[in-house]
A and B are shown apart, each in its own frame.
Chain A
């Protein structure tokens, strides 16, 4: 300890675009521990444990299949409706859960924020970790349904990897944005479930995008989840692959993420004083 240790200067916050990604990288183990804590705690003292990650989406698929598939006879692009619906519903649930949990994460971590320093962005990002685990579990439902109905995925199934990345980006963008806003304005706690409910029907989850009238369809793909849900279907079920929809989804997901991080950064330094 003879040499002078590195110096850190604390001064009034200036500017808002200063994400310290290298610092977040240094705290990656904390990211891991927080995500691990969420997964552990969620299923502790539950009899069925991780099975819950399986039951919830399963019930919803059954309900949607009966109502939209059997009763309403919704167009499912020639695929068995349960397979069609779950290929959209599971990524959607991954998205909405991630967005929902990361947006409430800052408030739930108020005790940490006021007592110890670490890059705050870790909190909403870590919240996504548990959702990723749930998504992996729930994908086995889709695998089961595909096996049952004899739908065989092609090589294009590998495209699921970039799709998951983009879904995560979009969900985290929204989640990070809302987590920062709920710190100051608790109203957003009530807005989020409402938005997600509407957002579900603005995404081609229970219906294929092609049933949307031509003039409205372009507007549909401003929603990153529209292109992504269609993307999951084409990757796994072999529906037509439309690259322009992918690009639109990638652009809007990146935009959402950038916006979320920018708003978060501009408010981050006041969190401990306001929360």
Chain B
């Protein structure tokens, strides 16, 4: 089994911040920068090119390397996890391998048909029925009509949408929508499958089904590249792992070792997160911070601390179906529970403006271990701004009357449950 599936050599991708930050330029800006360039060139010609160095420095200033000097080989049939923080270059890597964007330097050789699943439901049209969308989305992902027809029944069965097959997908529940979308993608059967964090959606039963499908795909001798923040899932699925940091490949080896190293090195505690760089035109999360329940900055987090999570969202224009969720994850990134504003009787951020939310965590909820927080803004049919694992915090043990033996408790959360005790047996 030495046949290569993917060979990446010195891959790099440079973004100009000006371009990505403003998303697009107007003609006026292009014209004014063209005249500025002409003036600059003219002046340089007059002064013998003395001012040339300045532009180089300026250029270097607003450039960032999303990916730099990345090299690795993937053998046929290998299942590889890609881990790293947000902005480490994981998504850029997948986008280059799936030919959506192009590298600035280096090269990648791909042997076989590539299927990429960077988002669930790409190409779905809300007005079309489930049946029509299966064909459309299949075609967008490179399947021929004959291929789609031959797998049609399998796709329908996997998606569990049954009698809603001929209903427009805009009337689907978000669960049904996601199931159908994943079903199409899971039946692409390419030789190389690139998957980006898509398992974050859908209910647990369906997530398990998807993981099962991916394991099945992997056993079938296909090559899989799997990006995820869910480290236990990565560890379970992938034999080998790539850890990216700041656009560079830091470590490449057996999953267990790489994940341990990543956790030890990278996940320092962070109680506050602020968005940097581009401000999108859609609703987004601006700031997330962990505070004491009274709003003060905690000195140390203990099992007895009552905590408050502040989330600031910006909604540039009113948007009907915006949803907000906060997911608390364990130290390995495995989701523990999620919470939504409606849980506390609060509205979703649908109106334009800045929205300040606080979620309150009672004392004696967390055990003495590490936790992470993900925040995401989404619509029933797609993600708007997903910020996985923005905060990480360690909770330290302090014994209290209500939380006896905090260090010796099993599991991942402490849930205060009512007990009763009597010396007489129950009636009946």
A interface, CB within 8 angstroms of B: 1, 4-13, 27, 29-30, 32-34, 37, 40-41, 44-45, 111-118, 183-188, 269-270, 272-275
Contacts and interface: CB of A to CB of B under 8 A. Distances in A.
A185 B26 contact: yes
Contacts of A34: 136, 139
Nearest to B119: A115
Contact of A10 (B23, B107, B136, B144): B107
B191 A5 contact: yes
Contact of A274 (B19, B95, B118, B191): B19
Contacts of A274: 19, 23-24
B360 interface: no
A267 B179 CA distance: 36
B100 A5 contact: no
Given A41-B128, A275-B24, A12 B136 contact: no
Nearest to B101: A272
Contacts of B76: 1
Given A12-B102, A118-B142, A183-B24, A41 B125 contact: yes
Contacts of B226: none
Nearest to A10: B108
Contacts of B112: 5-6
Given A5-B191, A118-B140, A187 B118 contact: no
Contacts of A111: 122-123
Contacts of A45: 127
B116 interface: yes
A183 B142 CA distance: 24
Given A117-B98, A117-B99, A1 B111 contact: no
B122 A11 contact: no
22 contacts: A1-B76, A1-B191, A4-B111, A8-B99, A10-B96, A10-B97, A10-B99, A11-B102, A11-B107, A29-B139, A33-B136, A40-B127, A116-B118, A117-B100, A118-B142, A184-B24, A185-B26, A185-B27, A188-B27, A269-B101, A274-B23, A275-B24
Interface residues of B, number: 52
Contacts of B145: 29
Contact of A115 (B107, B118, B221): B118
A236 B103 CA distance: 53
Nearest to B19: A274
A45 B95 CA distance: 36
A40 B127 CA distance: 9
B73 interface: no
A265 to B, nearest CB: 13
A78 to B, nearest CB: 46
B164 interface: no
Interface of B: 3, 15, 19-20, 23-28, 30, 76, 95-114, 116, 118-119, 122-123, 125, 127-128, 132, 135-136, 139-142, 144-145, 168, 191, 221
B100 A114 contact: yes
B424 to A, nearest CB: 65
Nearest to A27: B142
Contacts of A185: 24-27, 30
A272 B141 CA distance: 16
Nearest to A113: B100
Contacts of A30: 139-140, 142
Contact of B109 (A9, A187, A269, A270): A9
Nearest to A275: B24
B122 A115 contact: yes
B123 A7 contact: no
Given A116-B140, A116-B141, A186-B24, A9 B107 contact: yes
A64 B19 CA distance: 46
Contact of B104 (A12, A118, A183, A184): A12
B19 A4 contact: no
Given A11-B102, A41-B127, A117-B98, 5 more contacts: A7-B109, A10-B99, A32-B139, A40-B127, A273-B101
A40 B107 contact: no
Contacts of A270: 102
A118 B103 CA distance: 17
A184 B102 contact: no
Interface centre among B30, B128, B140, B168 (most CB of A within 10 A): B140
Given A10-B108, A30-B140, A45-B127, A116 B102 contact: no
A10 B110 contact: yes
B132 A40 contact: yes
B108 A9 contact: yes
B113 A269 contact: no
